[in-house]
Amino acid sequence: MRSRHAIAGAWIALTVIAGVPHAHAQSPSGAPVIDAPQSTHRAADTLEHTPALVGAQDAASSASAESAGSAAQNTAPPPAVAAPPRASSVASVSGVATPEPPSDLYGALYRDVELAHLFPDSKTFADMIPDQPPARIVRLYHAQRAVRGFDLRRFVDAHFTLPPRPPAHASVVANASVSDHIRTLWQVLKRDPDRNTSPWSSLLALPNPYIVPGDRFDEIYYWDSYFIMLGLEQDDQHALARAELDNFAALIDRYGHIPNGNRSYYLSRSQPPFFAAMVALIADRDGDQAYVRYLPELEREYAYWMQGADTLKPGHATRHVVRLADGTVLNRYWDARDVPRDESYREDVLTARSMPQRASADLWRNLRAGGESGWDFSSRWFADGKTLATIEVTSLIPIDLNTLMFNLERTLAIAHHARGDAKLARQYQERADARADAIRRVLWDPDLHAFGDDDFVARSLTHRLSAATVYPLYFGVATRDEARDIAQTIERKLLQPGGIATTTVQSGQQWDMPNGWAPLEYLAVIGLRRYGYDDLAKTIAMRWIATNLDFYARTGKLVEKYDIESGKAASGGEYALQEGFGWTNGVLATLLALYPDAAKIAQPAARTASPNATSLPIGASSTSTH
């Protein structure tokens, strides 16, 4: 393995070339590699928030208004929201109609199968392949279901089959070192180009090989893939890493954005926009021409996330964009549909039934937006801090998303500079600078001494500490003073025996205490190193590596998430713990290269009850998708 790529795409030196910051890999050793901006966030006693946004009904929702949660918790009027068409009715960039999700294709049949709970996992039926055109199956269903003795399970078995999958871990060698295990798993998790996909399958065909996370997640996922690509680069799988990026470029060219995953039911939303970071990762090896090569897709990615911004009035929101009363434009998570998710249909229906006083369409759109966030689900999104049915994602301006948008704007500046267009490069850099300033003004929480999320309807920060505060460290948005405060907050409130906690709240949701996730551990380690907090970064890395190695030594497996208090398998969510596991493998391979002695000396820290956790009653349901 080459240590050169241990943190490729993460260390971004702001070297000014004709006034444009240029991104390139740097050595992880030594002092911080940037001149951090001066602190511009507002003092606690002068912190200003936007006035309540102008209210209007969302015409796309059957009965719901866009709000920060249930109406009982928020009295501010909702923002005006333009009504986007449902995903199934939108033409793709290529001019081909966007595939409809199974729930639309099968209607009552889909609803009946999911609510009958024929399969333990709602995603199973969403992924099944029909034996004939869906319209014909629907006609058969309506004709047969009224007949005495009709058996729904037999009907499904007669007309649908499970997609073929390679045997799980068929070629994994027993007792292999963890590094050898990861290298073997790349081939186990690799899928060939989708050349023989059924025209009626929910799978969206990809032109190149790709890596799936593992287990139930047998398709590509957007933000997972950045951390997978880090591991592929580390293990000399550069062609496969580039194939991953080319697949995402193909999805942008076809649909105008990168969906949550390559399934028709994921097309109405995206995931945290790491495409620009992926391009930077490939450019680290291929040079600046990689920026030029993927410039058209970078532009389309940006257009998707900023759609509607140019005509949006102050105090209004539409799709992914929010314009605050002072004219500041920031982003939020969103989904174009307001119905139950195909992959979690039954769970979403039950969640709506648990809070009948809330409009179901509003709840379902927020659950879907939670899926786009990647943090599905977390107390971070809940109006009451503990109950899934109070989820309010679309009323929040998240720190992680807006930092990623800063990076996208900065990458567009770099790409246009590489192409020789100084004017556009300067314009995008100005947008990036303006967003960085807005992040520090709007999303810095002086009470938490960390970055957080802003509820733009309630006109208040949410004051919920989460590991998302590391994003401005990773991408260089934080000032040195903010970085110091964040480092202290992490050490005092998030650091655990097995890594850093996702939040300090124990809600039963998978993106909460006591779970730790590879992407957040990695972003924290590299972000802290960037600002010179090498000791804390190493502590987090060594503890996370030890958690992974200890679990692997006991089980022979690498899994999706870990309990960082006990070192055991993590819990929470609507599905069983998944093994494989794409981003866990990628991050572990990268951190082992960055800390080569860790495999020899890392030992699990003493496991004790953490003082940094807030216990809450665990709800009856805990639903999530990847």
Catalytic site residues? 376, 560
How far apart are the C-alpha atoms of 166 and 261, rounded to whole Å? 19
d(CA 380, CA 396): 10
CA 219 to chain centre: 15
Strands 562-563 and 515-516: antiparallel
CB distance 562 to 569 below 8 Å = yes
- Residue 294: count other Cβ atoms within 10 Å of its Cβ: 24
- Residue 413 is given by DSSP the state H
- Phi and psi torsions of 367, nearest 5°: -60, -40
Q: Is 51 exposed, middle or buried (0-12, 13-18, 19+ CB in 10 A)?
A: middle
Which residue, among 570, 456, 557, has the nearest Cα to 520 in the 3D structure? 570
Alpha carbon 255 to its chain centroid, in Å, reads 19
Look at residues 413, 438, 437, 436 and name the one whose alpha carbon lies nearest to residue 426: 413
608, 497 Cβ separation under 8 angstroms: yes
**Long-range contacts: 426-435, Cβ < 8 Å, 24+?**
426/19, 426/20, 429/19, 429/20, 429/21, 432/406, 435/330, 435/402, 435/405, 435/406, 435/409
Question: How far apart (Å, rounded) are the C-alpha atoms in residues 381 and 392?
Answer: 6
- Cα separations in angstroms, 122 against 347, 429, 575: 8, 44, 9
Rg (CA), the chain: 23
CB atoms within 10 A of CB 487: 24
> DSSP secondary-structure letter at 5?
G
